[in-house]
Amino acid sequence: MLKNYFKIAIAVLRRRKFFTFISLFGISFTLTILLVLTAFINKIAGDSYPDRKRDRSLYISRMQEINKTGGQSSGPLSYYFLSHYASSLKTPVKVGISSIFSGTNTYVNNKKIAVNYKYTNDAYWDIMEYDFIEGKAFNKQQVDNGDKVAVISEDMKQQYFGDVPSVVGKYIEADNVKYRVTGVVKNVPITSYMTYGDIYLPYTVSKSDVRKDKSYRGGFFGVLLAKSSADVPRMHDEYQSMIDRLPMESKEFDKIYSHADPYIVSYVDTGNEGKSGVMIVLTTIGIFALLVMLLPTLNLVNINITRIMERSSEIGVRKAFGASSVTLVYQFIVENIILTLLGGLIGVILSFIAIKVLNGMNLIPNLVLSINFTVLAIGLLICFLFGLISGVYPAWRMSKLNVVTALKAS
């Protein structure tokens, strides 16, 4: 019976090519948007390179100071705060510190190259698990000595040195300073702003001596690493307790907020204590996904009603020969599901093409999208539900048709 329904569905689709095109376009376009969006979200939230120890890490990305009149100031933390206060905690076994990446230019053979550099401490390299293509990270002694050494990305290696087998020991110039390359790491997408950089340098070579700045806020992030994931809640509480006891930096403010949070919570932090970044992101994605799916569903329902009503003569004849309403409803729902699954398959193909094009355009540096097959399966399930939901109401309308009315309508 299903085979017959499939043949009828294909025949109907071929009969009304314009309606078929509109329906397939709506379904496949919707699925393509959802798959590309989830590929983007999955890359940001799911790709743990190079911080693969997220299960036992907490991230410190900002501090907010507030006074009673509503005045406030918020931003990343200072190296002093992270090295003096965060590093005094007993639960973390390591405290990685890295700066916000900053931009400068360098020149090779009169060609300008944009460089994003980041300062780190030595513990940063013990916590982060970068994939080294060659060489290794700078060590504690080199950091303490203020050696002009650098770890560079593979993309920077290609831009600056060209196609050479090894660059370890060679010098790279940035911001009018020459640094000796100690290692080359696999690229990190710019969306991973806490770990992204073209050149990684010891914080001790910074032109502004960050160790002299005793203020709480500056331009650094912190990563607390626990011995095990079981210690993470205790590490969180210890950090919070330290913040609660932290003396006011200025009489201008009377309350300080700062949190050591899991990666995603820290990533979407709004910088405002009163606005949850997680809630804003979930609400935005939910509304967007609802609109993207709702509009094609309503459109599909209208098209299905029109298409089914045009088949009133067929319905009338079949009813006259004894076909029950249940049988006809079942047939039309199956036809609709076949249509939506066909649109879903087209959507999958379009998604692969769209992602390949986006990766080729390199709109976001080092961001390589890929299809998540779990999401793909969910997308096809959504298509199935799409077909079911958008087919029920038209099929119900059809089942209510009187045989005489249906034949007259023809």
Q: Where are the domains of the chain?
A: 1-47+279-408, 57-261
Spatial CB neighbours of 56, under 8 Å, sequence gap ≥ 6:
225, 226, 227, 228, 229, 231, 232
The pLDDT, as a whole number, for residue 403 is 65
Total residue count of the chain as it appears in this document: 410
Residue 376 tokens, joined: 């793909």
The pLDDT, as a whole number, for residue 117 is 94
Q: What is the dihedral of CA 352, 353, 355, 357, to 10 degrees?
A: 160
The pLDDT, as a whole number, for residue 348 is 85
pLDDT tens for the chain, 410 residues: list them.
667 767 776 777 777 777 777 777 877 888 788 888 888 887 877 778 899 999 999 999 999 988 877 778 888 999 999 999 999 999 999 999 999 999 988 888 888 899 999 999 999 999 999 999 999 999 999 999 999 999 999 999 999 999 899 999 999 998 889 999 999 999 998 888 899 999 999 999 998 878 788 889 999 999 999 999 999 999 999 999 999 999 988 788 888 999 999 998 888 887 777 777 788 888 888 888 778 777 777 777 777 777 666 777 777 777 777 777 777 777 777 777 787 788 888 888 888 888 888 888 777 777 777 777 776 777 777 767 766 777 777 777 766 766 666 666 55
The pLDDT, as a whole number, for residue 407 is 62
Q: Is the pTM of this model over 0.95?
A: no
Rounded CA gap, 155 and 175, in Å? 18
Query: Do strands 171-174 and 177-185 pair parallel, antiparallel, or not at all (unpaired)?
Result: antiparallel
Rounded CA gap, 209 and 88, in Å? 21
Spatial CB neighbours of 180, under 8 Å, sequence gap ≥ 6:
147, 148, 149, 150, 169, 170, 171
Query: At 381, which amino acid appears?
Result: L
Long-range contacts from 352-360, C-beta under 8 angstroms, 24+ separation: 354/32, 354/36, 355/35, 355/36, 355/39, 358/36
CB atoms < 10 A from the CB of 31, how many? 28
Rounded CA gap, 31 and 24, in Å? 11
Phi then psi for residue 260, to 5 deg, are -100, 105
Rounded CA gap, 241 and 222, in Å? 17
The pLDDT, as a whole number, for residue 406 is 60
- Which position has the token pair 């890929």? 370
Query: At 154, which amino acid appears?
Result: E
The pLDDT, as a whole number, for residue 90 is 94
